[in-house]
Structure 1
Amino acid sequence: MSWLLKLYETYEDNLGMVGKKEVKRNGQEYTLLPVSHTTQTAHIEVMITEDGNFHSAVLLDKSNGNTLIPSSENSASRAGSIIAPYPLHDKLSYVAGDFVAYGGKIKKEEPFSYYIAQLKEWAESKYATNTVKSIYQYLNKRCLIKDLVEERILWLDQNGQLISKLDKATEEYLGEKPPIFSTVTGGQESAFIRFSVYSPSVVITKPWDDIELYNSFISFYQDLLGKEELCYVTGKMLPSTEKHANKIRNAGDKAKLISANDSSGFTYKGRFLKPTEAVNISYEVSQKAHNALKWLINKQAKIIDQRVFLVWGSEVPDLLEDTWALITGENTQEEEESKVGSYTFEHSAREVSKAISGYKSDLSLNENVQIMVLDSATTGRMAVLYYRSINKSTYLDNLKEWHLTCTWQHRYRKNNNGEVISFFGASSLKDIAFAAYGSKVNEKVVKGMMERMLPCIIDGRIIPEDVIRSAFYRASNPVLMEPWEWEKTLSICCSLFNKKEEGYSVALDKTNTNRDYLFGRLLAIADVLERRALEGDNRATNARRFMSSFAQHPERTWLTIQKALQPYQARLGEKVWFYNKLIDEVGSMINPEDFNNKPLSGKYLLGFYSQRHDILQKKDKQLVTEEILEAEGEI
């Protein structure tokens, strides 16, 4: 229950955000929902006058349809043929008193009778607002469909009945395709109606933005809740509930985290007589915890193939992002661009330390960071796959250690001008997954790998060997990828091996006599030499075409590569002596006994990258190959 308690406390700590609209990057609005409220996508807005008469109606597009509505326990979890009306806004079959008169089909009883009785009870209570009274007064006249037909929102067939399905004969009769059929999925009877009150003299707040109306229903519904029982989350005596919220990840999500409606299965049978004996959660805690979770997911979660990765706490950095995101935070574009030119590993280390220190500045001893992973196996059930509550100081220290040890130079980020940003640090978990399995891999593989990598950051565990091995094989096969993708895969693979081996840096270590490292240096020199000789020809060099074979049989493959280099060496003329000297220098450092066909480890990629980087840093800029610059520029 600890995660439920933390979510409940998060809601209590953010009461000032309840009902306030926020906007995601994609432009979609979200809010911290009030208790006893949910969201629905409305298709039609009906405006009522203050004295309870019809004023007008409009069709809503998807961008304007998201509506915050009052909700009871039963309506929030209704399904199938169960009649459970929402308290104010609902589908046409519930809110239209003339639904049956216009040919509307109902399965058993008339839903409107339940709806209007419920609305009457609220409208006549001491908590009712003028808005609720006006809407009730109008709907009690049972003329909604009549008014919407006259407003040309709903349409009738030749027999004066509500059209449930638009066929060719009906369309010919109407002479056009009514807009309602492009707005609503299914027939007109499935249209969701929201109500507002119009006044020519006074500005009246829309019900879905009206805090007074929120509180009106919360107070009204509180009186209807059952007897108080012990809440297992807070330890207090509060009204309990057996029905818990869905729509956790999005408006169409039917999966629930807490459910005990399978009395014929193995949910609690054999151990308890009723579900509340297994666990008893108060209505208030359930509402606030689930609403806080929905808010946090909209605000800051990463969702991969419906699996939710969520980290929350008091001003904490996201463990799923890369070093650049950690360092820059909310920096402006100009500040980001100013850093690019002189960005080094030492600079990165200072910036990471500075960022972590900033997060620690207001640290209190009892602050914790919550880490949660959610996913659903079926459409109706969701599970907490991973949950940790970790001290904020420990979390920041472990995050800092990750970004300073799983580090390499990366060139795959862009600024707002589309220019490539070079940064030193760790990659995001999603980028590591793409490096290991390819950018076109199934998202199920990506989310599984990201979950496995979480303990590597949070607890400092060793990176799974199969992840490193997969990245190694892909980085050793550049011909299977576009140049930009291979460059990205190579740098990420180097960061993983650097985390595993420790102590390596992008700067070339000319004293390193490790066999694999030296073989990697040789391959890099051959690659740069041939690319320089090709002068703008973008075909793959022999060094890259034979890279996979070189990793498995370095001695045999190097002889093949060196023979293939001869025409390119001749084409370079005097400039070739720089490369020949490097080849001789590196080759002489390899122990003759080590010059064999034993497969290379990932250290050869470190040597390859560092040797190539060293050539890029030479004062003689003519030695910088066009191919490398083009590959970086395409990312």
Structure 2
Amino acid sequence: MSWLYQLYQTYEANRDEIGEIVFTNGDKEYTLLPISHTTQTAHIEVTVTEDGEFYHAKILDKESTVIPTTEESSSRSGKKIAPYPLHDKLSYVAGDFGERGGTKEPFQHYIKQLEEWVNSPFTNAKVESIYHYLSKKQLIADLVRAGIVALDENGNIIEKWHKKYENLFEEKPAIFSAVTDKQTSAFIRFNVYSPHDILEDVWKDKEVFQSYVDFYQTQLDEVDYCYVTGEQKPITERHANKIRNAADKAKIISSNDKTGYTFRGRFQTSSQAASISYEASQKAHNALKWLIQKQGIQIDGRVFLVWGNSKAKIIDPIADSFSLTAELGLEEIEHIDTLSHLANEVKKAIFNYRSNLTTEENNVNILILDAATTGRMGILYYRNMDKEMYFDRLQKWHSTCVWWHHYYNNEKKETVQFFGAPSLTNIAYGAYGEKANKKVIKAAMERLISCILDDRVIPKDIVTATFNRASNPVALEKWEWEKTLSIACALINKEEGHPLALDPSNHDRDYLFGRLLAVADVLERRVLDESGDKRATNAIRYMNTFAKYPAKTWKVIQECIQPYQARMGKRASYLSSLIDEIGAMIKFEDFNDESLSGKYLLGFYSQRRELYLPKEKNKDEENVG
């Protein structure tokens, strides 16, 4: 139950955020829900006066709305009658629904439940106004006059739109575009208007929230030991859904299977397996929903979430080093040019970040969850780590799995260039391709997280897959190949520990073969660019074969570049002499067709980057050119 307890503590530590509407980057609202509340997509907004009279109604563009709920209504399904306490579907809140072809029973249950709230010591003036209006049983009549609800020729509600109704209306009523199901399933939210004051919207009013919380607490009676808090409190067997979004039906905790083997055979009742208080369940699940909307990463339904308690936002292990510039106040990372420089900057930035955390912030939580079926969600990975260990592991990752990167950043919506570690998402796509199945990507990310947090070696199959794709540029678009190449170099460099800058003293066979390939590529590219030819060089075209049979393929590449050397004339002297110099460093016995390791990519990238770096013309190049 540690993950539940940590979420419970997060809720308690962020009570000031309860009910506060916050916007995501995509302009979607999210909030830390009060207990006994959930969210629902509303289709119609009905505004009444303080005196309980109809004032206005409008169709909404499927707006997410915070609504009070009961245990029964939060898990209602099928024909089960379980009204929400205030806002609900048209079939529940309309007292004249029975006169329009529907049944009276849902409204009877709804209005009785609302009356209990209004007559309790915890009533609220806005709730009373809504109750007085609905008690008049004229909602549908008012909505028809307002042009919101559509009736057939017999005065009954039209459930679904059909061409046969076209003669009754000049155009298709807007309500049928707003709801995806029957018109009777349109969800109604209520508001209150005052000619004297500007009132807070009912679904945002903290006084209304607290009024219902206080009232509903009096409705709970079964007390037992709570496995989360360790206290004797009213317990619940119905736990929240809508964890990832408003339409999510999957639950993490469920014990309603009384015919299968969820607990049968071991316990007589589900509470004997584990009893959780209503308060703890509500707070933990609401904190989880809030955190997912606030900072979680979702890929094909799988959630990757990292958080602290008093300071919910914690450095994300999935992100790349470029993202740390904003998170940590790190020096602009494109200005960092050596491994030791990067390591020192990351160490300093992380030290400053964690020193700003409160002394109570001793742990960091990492949670991965996904749904196996429509109704069941599982926790795939959970760690509660000491913050010192967590930041040490992050520091090591961002100081060792590094290379120069230059690619389009989806989050920043711009092309970025930086020296550091790639994001786990980009590593997964680098290994399996931009069009890979989302299930493959999220499974790879789950494995990679353990490489950071548990300081494990990167899985060999992921490194190999990335290496193979980087060695086959003709199968990829140029931007994707360049991105995959730098990611492959980062993964290989974590194992090898080579410096980023070109190392002329490195006599490793594979590294030298990579340098040869880079010089051949740059030489031909210069001639092609001068003529405006955008086709791939022979070095790039033969790269995949070169990785498998370097000696034999190099002979082919060298023959292919001779015409370009001739076209460049003296200007090719420096690059030609560099080819001779690198070739002479390869031992005679090493010049064979044994397949190249990932080191050749490091040599290729470093040599190519060295030749492309803007700098004053090399004196040696001047002398020979």
Q: Report the AA paired with residue 600 of structure 1.
A: L
Q: Which of 599, 605, 613 lines up with 1:609 in the alignment? A: 605
Equivalent in the alignment of 1:524: 518
Structure 2: distance between partners of 1:184 and 1:415: 33
Q: Which of 496, 499, 508 lines up with 1:514 in the alignment? A: 508
Q: Which of 594, 600, 617 lines up with 2:590 in the alignment? A: 594
Cα drift, residue 349 of structure 1: 2.7
CA contact (8 A) 2:408 2:416 kept: yes
1:70-113 CA-to-partner distances (Å, cap 9, x unmatched) read: 10100111111111000000000000111121112x5xx71111
Structure 2: distance between partners of 1:556 and 1:208: 73
1:528–1:5 CA distance, 2 compared to 1 (3 A): same
1:564 aligns with 2:560: yes
Structure 1: distance between partners of 2:412 and 2:77: 50
CA contact (8 A) 1:348 1:423 kept: no
Equivalent in the alignment of 1:630: none
- 1:205-216 superposed matches below 5 A: 205-216=200-211
- 1:531-542 superposed matches below 5 A: 531-534=525-528, 535=530, 536-542=532-538
Structure 1: distance between partners of 2:17 and 2:423: 30
Equivalent in the alignment of 2:442: 447
Cα drift, residue 327 of structure 1: 2.6
1:206-230 CA-to-partner distances (Å, cap 9, x unmatched) read: 2111111111111110000023210
1:392 aligns with 2:390: no
Equivalent in the alignment of 2:80: 82
Equivalent in the alignment of 1:117: 112
Gaps of 5+ in 1: 624-635
Cα drift, residue 340 of structure 1: 4.0
CA contact (8 A) 1:508 1:611 kept: yes
1:31–1:621 CA distance, 2 compared to 1 (3 A): farther
Q: Report the AA paired with residue 31 of structure 1.
A: T
1:192–1:618 CA distance, 2 compared to 1 (3 A): closer
Q: Which of 451, 460, 467 lines up with 1:472 in the alignment? A: 467
Deviates more, 1:140-149 or 1:364-373: 364-373
Structure 2: distance between partners of 1:520 and 1:182: 60
Cα drift, residue 133 of structure 1: 1.1
Cα drift, residue 345 of structure 1: 4.0
Structure 2: distance between partners of 1:354 and 1:172: 73
Deviates more, 1:18-27 or 1:342-351: 342-351
How many corresponding residue pairs? 613
Q: What secondary structure sits across from 1:354 in the alignment?
A: helix
Structure 2: distance between partners of 1:403 and 1:132: 54
Equivalent in the alignment of 1:9: 9
1:348–1:422 CA distance, 2 compared to 1 (3 A): farther
1:527–1:298 CA distance, 2 compared to 1 (3 A): same
Deviates more, 1:360-369 or 1:270-279: 360-369
1:417–1:272 CA distance, 2 compared to 1 (3 A): closer
1:410 aligns with 2:408: no
Q: Report the AA paired with residue 511 of structure 1.
A: S
Cα drift, residue 415 of structure 1: 11
Structure 2: distance between partners of 1:604 and 1:383: 42
Cα drift, residue 343 of structure 1: 4.8
Gaps of 5+ in 2: 620-625
Equivalent in the alignment of 2:238: 243
- 1:41-190 superposed matches below 5 A: 41-62=41-62, 65-104=63-102, 106=103, 110-190=105-185
Equivalent in the alignment of 1:34: 34
Q: Which of 488, 505, 526 lines up with 2:499 in the alignment? A: 505
1:198 aligns with 2:193: yes
Q: Which of 536, 539, 546 lines up with 1:543 in the alignment? A: 539
Equivalent in the alignment of 1:633: none
Equivalent in the alignment of 1:456: 451
- 1:478-493 superposed matches below 5 A: 478-493=473-488
Q: Which of 327, 343, 359 lines up with 1:349 in the alignment? A: 343
CA contact (8 A) 1:249 1:297 kept: yes
1:2–1:96 CA distance, 2 compared to 1 (3 A): same
Q: What secondary structure sits across from 2:45 in the alignment?
A: strand
1:417–1:82 CA distance, 2 compared to 1 (3 A): closer
CA contact (8 A) 2:336 2:419 kept: no
Q: What secondary structure sits across from 2:160 in the alignment?
A: coil
Structure 1: distance between partners of 2:139 and 2:43: 15
TM-score normalised according to structure 1 size:
0.94
- 1:196-275 superposed matches below 5 A: 196-275=191-270
Q: Report the AA paired with residue 126 of structure 2.
A: T
Equivalent in the alignment of 1:294: 289
Cα drift, residue 66 of structure 1: 1.6
Equivalent in the alignment of 1:573: 569
Q: What secondary structure sits across from 2:381 in the alignment?
A: strand
Cα drift, residue 366 of structure 1: 6.2
Query: Identical aligned pairs, as a percentage?
Result: 56
Equivalent in the alignment of 2:622: none
Cα drift, residue 376 of structure 1: 0.4
Cα drift, residue 344 of structure 1: 4.6
Q: What secondary structure sits across from 2:98 in the alignment?
A: coil
Cα drift, residue 328 of structure 1: 3.0
Q: Report the AA paired with residue 211 of structure 1.
A: K
- Root-mean-square deviation (CA), in Å? 1.9
Cα drift, residue 619 of structure 1: 3.6
Equivalent in the alignment of 1:22: 22
Structure 1: distance between partners of 2:473 and 2:204: 55
Q: Report the AA paired with residue 509 of structure 1.
A: D
CA contact (8 A) 2:328 2:350 kept: no
Structure 2: distance between partners of 1:278 and 1:193: 39
CA contact (8 A) 1:415 1:421 kept: no
